Amino acid sequence: MPAMADTLTSLVGMDLTELQAAVTACGGKPFQAKQLAQWLYAKRELNFDAMTNLSKDLRAKLAENFALLTSRVIAGEESGEGTTKLGIRLHDGMVIETVLMREDERVTACISTQAGCAMGCRFCASGQLGLKRHLTAGEILEQFLHLSELMRTQDATPDWLTNVVVMGMGEPLHNFDNLLKALTILNAEWGFHFGARRVTVSTVGLPQRIRDLAEQGFQFNLAISLHGVDDASRSALIPTNAGLEKILAAAKYYFEQTRREVTFEYTLVGGKNDDAESAHKLADLVKDFPRANVNLIPMNPVEGSGLETPATESVNTFAEILRNAGVNVHVRRRRGRRVQAACGQLRLKLEAVSG
Ligand code: SAH
């Protein structure tokens, strides 16, 4: 099979059954699938030659027939403050973003699940692009391998991720099957063995998909992007709004099934949803939740959106109102703000450069 490396099927993204098929097709024994999984996921080894408990012959056959990575890092951007954004080019030229954030003892990865996004949020750089395509489970997981390489060059502790947020490009629940497969491998004992409680899936709010996720038996955290306090204000920012009532009911269901706290994200857009009345309404909306958690995110300016970042004063007032209503609220400041790096802006820049 004389194919270019990046047109070969990648082993990354395969579950144990699939790895077993790959190993036996290359003349190995079924039990060696677990050894291979350990190299790929637990050890994050990107070189077949280093997989020394597999025979030379098996390694050679695997290398001939399968790739380890189908994507490559084309740009890295340091923000200072411990944040690094990677621009990653997929085999077909699409560019996605992956972000690494260091903050004391926390190292968080922000990963993408789609190239572009179909949800069309007015303030979001990925939304402007529309959906190009879903990422495969392998492409979702390859982001961890690129981050692993980056972290090996950093020579800092912790030397591996402590948290994962699925808040990069795309709507994760719109790519449900591939997301679930990737997160299953991330969590599995034979996979990355990464604790589900350290993984947060952020969604625009697809009610049926939230319910589906609740029924998978995982302990992932859920974050719901709210951004509006009634359907009129929400739909003005999110044209694909599925309806607040349905979304909140699904969020409750998620809590009931998993007992994991749900976080609400609220991007504050100047003059659109950052007034005091909205703050009071938001407090009312979330107060039924056991320990309501709200993350306020002052909008990061996006060229062409026609929307503006809110005044510092209205951010402070908004937070204050929620706090006084007993809501647990965090403000993600623009500098060092967690999601800032994950809004598709690096990709916009890279695509502008590469035409
Ligand atoms: N599609 C998912 C995850 C990706 S976006 C979701 O909607 O939750 C992650 C978070 O960043 C969301 O809350 C999103 O609304 C927010 N976000 C996107 N663009 C932003 C911008 N320009 N400024 C502030 N927050 C933004």
Distance in Å, CA 124 to ligand 1 centroid: 6
CB 44 within 8 A of CB 145: yes
Cβ–ligand 1 distance for 97 under 6 Å, the answer no
Buried b (16+ CB within 10 A) or exposed e, 263-283: bbbbbbbbebbbbeebbbbbb
Q: Is the peptide bond before 301 cis (omega within 30 degrees of 0)?
A: no
Secondary structure element (H or E) that encloses residue 3, with its range:
none
Determine the Cα–Cα distance for residues 1 and 134; give it in Å rounded to an integer.
Answer: 27
Q: What's the number of CA atoms in the CB half-sphere (13 Å) around residue 83?
A: 16
Residue 297: closest CA among 270, 275, 267: 267
The amino acid occupying position 85 is: K
Please identify, by atom number, the ligand 1 atom nearest to the C-alpha of residue 301. 22
Instruction: Kindly report, as residue ranges, where domains of CATH 3.20.20.70 are found in the chain.
Output: 72-354
Instruction: Please give the class, per CATH, of domain 72-354.
Output: alpha beta
Fold for 9-67, please state it. DNA polymerase; domain 1 (1.10.150)
Q: What's the pLDDT score for residue 258? A: 96
Please give the DSSP secondary-structure letter assigned to residue 215.
T
Cβ–ligand 1 distance for 123 under 6 Å, the answer yes
Q: What's the pLDDT score for residue 354? A: 38
Determine the Cα–Cα distance for residues 200 and 109; give it in Å rounded to an integer.
Answer: 10
Cβ–ligand 1 distance for 300 under 6 Å, the answer yes
What are the backbone dihedrals phi and psi of residue 330, each rounded to the nearest 5 degrees, phi first? -125, 140
Q: What's the pLDDT score for residue 292? A: 79
Q: What's the pLDDT score for residue 334? A: 55
Please identify, by atom number, the ligand 1 atom nearest to the C-alpha of residue 227. 15
Task: Quickly list DSSP for 152-170.
Answer: HHH--SS-S-SEEEE-SSS
Instruction: Kindly report, as residue ranges, where domains of CATH 1.10.150.530 are found in the chain.
Output: 9-67
Q: What's the pLDDT score for residue 6? A: 47
Task: Quickly list DSSP for 220-248.
Answer: -EEEEE---SSHHHHHHH-TT---HHHHH
- Measured between alpha carbons, how far is residue 100 from residues 41, 79, 107, 213, 341 in Å? 18, 11, 7, 25, 9
Write the pLDDT tens digit of every residue in 151-197: 999 989 999 999 999 999 999 999 999 999 999 999 999 999 999 99
Shortest-distance Cα residue to atom 19 of ligand 1: 124
CB 193 within 8 A of CB 174: no
CB 87 within 8 A of CB 95: yes
Q: Please provide the distance, in angstroms rounded to a whole number, between the alpha carbons at the two ends of the chain.
A: 33
Q: What's the pLDDT score for residue 336? A: 42
Q: Annotated catalytic, 343?
A: yes
Distance in Å, CA 300 to ligand 1 centroid: 10
Task: Quickly list DSSP for 91-108.
Answer: TTS-EEEEEEEEETTEEE
Residues in the chain: 355
Q: What's the number of CA atoms in the CB half-sphere (13 Å) around residue 161?
A: 29
- In tens digits, the chain (355 residues) has pLDDT values of 333 454 679 999 999 999 999 999 999 999 999 999 999 999 999 999 999 999 999 999 999 999 999 999 998 888 777 889 999 999 999 999 999 999 899 999 999 999 999 999 999 988 888 999 999 999 999 999 999 999 999 989 999 999 999 999 999 999 999 999 999 999 999 999 999 999 999 999 999 999 999 999 999 999 999 999 999 999 999 999 999 999 999 999 999 999 998 999 999 999 999 999 999 999 999 988 877 799 999 998 888 899 999 999 999 999 999 999 999 999 987 544 443 444 555 555 544 443 2
Q: Annotated catalytic, 351?
A: no
Determine the Cα–Cα distance for residues 147 and 39; give it in Å rounded to an integer.
Answer: 16
Q: What's the pLDDT score for residue 346? A: 52
Cα–chain center distance at 235: 23
Active-site annotation holder among 97, 139, 171, 265: 97
